[in-house]
């Protein structure tokens, strides 16, 4: 099938590449000329495991192409995906300007019927707005073409996006047309062989499903962080509690890890956006507001622990920071807890020596060169002459720690672990003062 994607970000690029890889002909349109030029040279703008060879191979075999020319993109695809960003507006609601700009572009150039798919995460009612915008432009052009607007939210996870798109848990399709549902069934057939993963529903329910999923996951995290904060005040160990509750099959072990708060481009903005949606219709979303409030507090936790330990005297201190991305296996630092921590440390007069396996370039892009930030080549190098180590992201290779190196690099070894990577008893054995989340401290 012929498919067009508007937006080659984390979602658009991965989905486009995966669809091309199973034989569809995909054109990606983006307004970012540099991104498009780089993609044509095989330079992938994001770090996502296994993505690069798929993009390069399908570009070379001609099934995947990149352009900034909206007109040729619109002409190419019977299916037009909108996969542009929906960042928070000033009040936290989803900013639809990029989505509606694409709707306008499609309507400006279309010469025949189109299926327009909202892949971006958009508030309930957006498909109506996209329809209205397309109809408006077609009327102003004095033409009339059939079009359908479908909600097909994306559930991929950064860090495992390729695998998630190849083997999706579900494919949610919101449409009021059986014919359109059949077209999407055909499009996704290669990913729907083992059992039927397509869940067809009305458009508004599909739009809400995406927010409900992200808000449920964010709720699990904030809930566990709340219990962790209680555990450390009550002399309990959250890791034991986690195992205890996870064993209940109604709760399960997944996504109940305590930590230093959730970040990324999705959970914070989607929780906020659903709160704004509720506010706009006069409903008080008490749970969602608490989820957000707990997360704000949790992101400040590492700094509070550090400040307490050093009695507020942080001027001139240097901290090793392991992990900049908001989670492992991505270079994405949007809303990352590392940013809250670094900015607090800098404001308090401290310096940071940071290491991340993938996000150093992104960190450099965000913060530029500054005298209180050094980006180090390795995790070990980051430990050189520091007052403490702070762990913010649970990259796999931070899990096996060289305890001697810690002892050698700090006169009084201290670790602040925002991800509970280590056993407190082992830390004690090695003479390390160890702060973690939800365990009575310091151990
Ligand atoms: P992104 O910021 O990585 O990419 C968006 C891309 O759209 C950019 O390359 C930008 O240049 C391009 N763009 C902006 N305006 C355009 C226009 N008028 N025409 C063509 N291209 C344009 O965003 P993302 O992370 O891929 O997210 C896209 C959407 O998918 C958001 O709504 C997000 O909430 C949702 N989503 C994201 C994830 C994720 O893990 N990142 C997962 C599921 C859903």
Which of the residues 28, 260, 266, 363 is marked catalytic? Answer: 266
Count of domains observed in the chain: 3
Q: What is the number of other CB atoms lying within 10 angstroms of the CB of residue 201?
A: 17
pLDDT of residue 411: 86
User: Contact 327/289 with Cβ under 8 angstroms?
Assistant: no
pLDDT of residue 409: 86
CA angle 112, 174, 63 (to 5 degrees): 55
| Cα–ligand 1 centroid distance for 252 (angstroms) | 31
pLDDT of residue 441: 59
* Parent domain of 57: 2-201
User: Do 321 and 385 belong to one domain?
Assistant: yes
Residue among 24, 141, 28 nearest 74 (CA): 28
User: Contact 91/276 with Cβ under 8 angstroms?
Assistant: yes
Give the C-alpha separation, 66 to 46, whole Å: 15
Give the C-alpha separation, 422 to 63, whole Å: 46
C-beta 148 within 6 A of ligand 1 = no
Name the E strands within 1-50.
2-6, 25-29
User: Do 377 and 244 belong to one domain?
Assistant: no
In DSSP terms, 29 is beta-bridged to: 6, 67
User: Do 286 and 342 belong to one domain?
Assistant: no
pLDDT of residue 432: 94
Asked which of 244, 275, 297 is the last residue of a domain, the reply is 297
| Cα–ligand 1 centroid distance for 346 (angstroms) | 31
C-beta 31 within 6 A of ligand 1 = yes
pLDDT of residue 407: 83
User: Do 7 and 152 belong to one domain?
Assistant: yes
**Quick check: is 278 in a domain?**
yes
**Quick check: is 441 in a domain?**
no
User: Contact 201/174 with Cβ under 8 angstroms?
Assistant: yes
User: Do 145 and 278 belong to one domain?
Assistant: no
C-beta 15 within 6 A of ligand 1 = no
Nearest-atom index, ligand 1, CA of 265: 41
**Quick check: is 141 in a domain?**
yes
What's the first-to-final CA gap in the chain, in angstroms? Answer: 59
Using DSSP, state whether 345 is helix, strand or coil: helix
C-beta 29 within 6 A of ligand 1 = yes
Using DSSP, state whether 236 is helix, strand or coil: coil
User: Contact 338/392 with Cβ under 8 angstroms?
Assistant: yes
Chain centroid to CA 71: how far? Answer: 30
User: Do 320 and 427 belong to one domain?
Assistant: yes
Give the C-alpha separation, 52 to 42, whole Å: 8
CA angle 441, 418, 401 (to 5 degrees): 90
**Quick check: is 443 in a domain?**
no
**Quick check: is 221 in a domain?**
yes
| Cα–ligand 1 centroid distance for 85 (angstroms) | 3
- Give CA separation, 25 vs 38, 54, 61, 64, in Å: 20, 14, 10, 6
- pTM for the structure as a whole: 0.95
CA nearest ligand 1 atom 14, residue: 84
pLDDT of residue 440: 76
Nearest-atom index, ligand 1, CA of 153: 44
Asked which of 266, 282, 297 is the last residue of a domain, the reply is 297
User: Do 224 and 270 belong to one domain?
Assistant: yes
User: Do 128 and 263 belong to one domain?
Assistant: no
User: Do 24 and 173 belong to one domain?
Assistant: yes
Radius of gyration (Cα) for the chain, nearest Å? 24
pLDDT of residue 408: 85
* pLDDT tens digits, one per residue of 161-185: 999 999 999 999 999 999 999 999 9
Pocket test for ligand 1, best of 15, 29, 30, 211 (most atoms within 8 A of CB): 30
User: Do 338 and 243 belong to one domain?
Assistant: no
- The DSSP secondary-structure symbol of 335 reads T
Give the C-alpha separation, 226 to 220, whole Å: 10
pLDDT of residue 442: 56
Nearest-atom index, ligand 1, CA of 105: 18
**Quick check: is 169 in a domain?**
yes
Give the C-alpha separation, 324 to 389, whole Å: 13
Give the C-alpha separation, 27 to 311, whole Å: 57
Q: What is the number of other CB atoms lying within 10 angstroms of the CB of residue 394?
A: 18
* pLDDT tens digits, one per residue of 408-441: 889 899 999 999 999 999 999 999 999 999 997 5
**Quick check: is 206 in a domain?**
no
23: left (phi over 0), alpha (psi -120 to 50) or beta: left
List binding-site positions for NAD(+). Answer: 30, 35, 86, 121, 158, 269, 334
Q: Is 28 marked active-site?
A: no
User: Do 293 and 347 belong to one domain?
Assistant: no
CB burial of residue 358 (10 Å; 0-12, 13-18, 19+): buried
Task: Show the low-confidence residues of the chain (pLDDT under 70).
Answer: 441-443
**Quick check: is 442 in a domain?**
no
Chain centroid to CA 180: how far? Answer: 29
User: Do 323 and 270 belong to one domain?
Assistant: no
| CATH code: domain of residue 278 | 3.40.50.720
Provide ipTM, 2 decimals: 0.99
Asked which of 243, 277, 297 is the last residue of a domain, the reply is 297
């Amino acid at each position: 099938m012929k498919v067009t994607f508007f937006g080659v970000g984390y979602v658009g690029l991965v989905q486009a590449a995966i669809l091309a890889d199973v034989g569809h002909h995909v054109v990606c349109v983006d307004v970012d000329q540099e991104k498009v030029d780089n993609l044509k040279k095989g330079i992938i703008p994001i770090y996502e495991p296994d993505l690069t060879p798929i993009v390069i191979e399908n570009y070379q075999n001609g099934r995947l192409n990149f352009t900034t020319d909206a007109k040729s993109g619109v002409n190419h695809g019977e299916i037009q995906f909108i996969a542009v960003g929906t960042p928070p507006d000033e009040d936290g609601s989803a900013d639809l300007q990029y989505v509606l700009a694409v709707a306008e572009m499609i309507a400006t150039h279309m010469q025949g019927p189109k299926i327009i798919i909202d892949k971006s995460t958009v508030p309930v009612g957006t498909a109506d707005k996209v329809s209205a915008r397309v109809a408006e432009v077609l009327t102003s052009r004095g033409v009339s073409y059939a079009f359908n607007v479908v909600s097909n939210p994306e559930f991929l996870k950064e860090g495992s996006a390729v695998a998630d798109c190849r083997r999706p848990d579900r494919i949610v399709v919101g449409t009021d047309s059986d014919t359109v549902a059949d077209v999407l069934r055909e499009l996704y057939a290669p990913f729907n062989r083992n059992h039927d993963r397509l869940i067809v529903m009305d458009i508004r329910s599909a739009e809400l499903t995406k927010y409900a999923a992200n808000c449920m996951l964010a709720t699990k995290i904030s809930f566990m962080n709340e219990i962790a904060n209680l555990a450390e005040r009550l002399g309990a160990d959250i890791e034991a509690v986690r195992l205890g509750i996870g064993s209940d099959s109604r709760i399960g072990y997944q996504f109940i890890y305590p930590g230093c708060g959730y970040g990324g481009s999705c959970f914070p903005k989607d929780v906020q956006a659903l709160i704004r949606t509720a506010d706009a219709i006069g409903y008080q979303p008490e749970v969602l507001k608490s989820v957000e409030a707990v997360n704000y507090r949790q992101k400040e936790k590492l700094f509070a622990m550090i400040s307490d330990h050093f009695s507020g005297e942080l001027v001139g201190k240097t901290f090793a920071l392991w992990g900049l991305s908001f989670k492992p296996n991505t270079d994405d630092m949007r809303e990352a807890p590392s940013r809250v921590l670094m900015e607090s440390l800098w404001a308090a007069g401290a310096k940071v020596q940071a290491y991340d396996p993938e996000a150093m370039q992104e960190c450099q892009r965000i913060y530029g060169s500054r005298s209180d930030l050094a980006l180090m080549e390795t995790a070990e190098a980051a430990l050189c002459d520091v007052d403490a180590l702070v762990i913010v992201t649970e990259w796999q290779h931070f899990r096996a720690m060289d305890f001697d190196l810690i002892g050698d690099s700090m006169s009084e070894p201290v670790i602040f672990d925002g991800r509970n990577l280590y056993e407190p008893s082992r830390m004690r054995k090695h003479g390390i003062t160890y702060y973690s989340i939800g365990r009575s401290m310091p151990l």
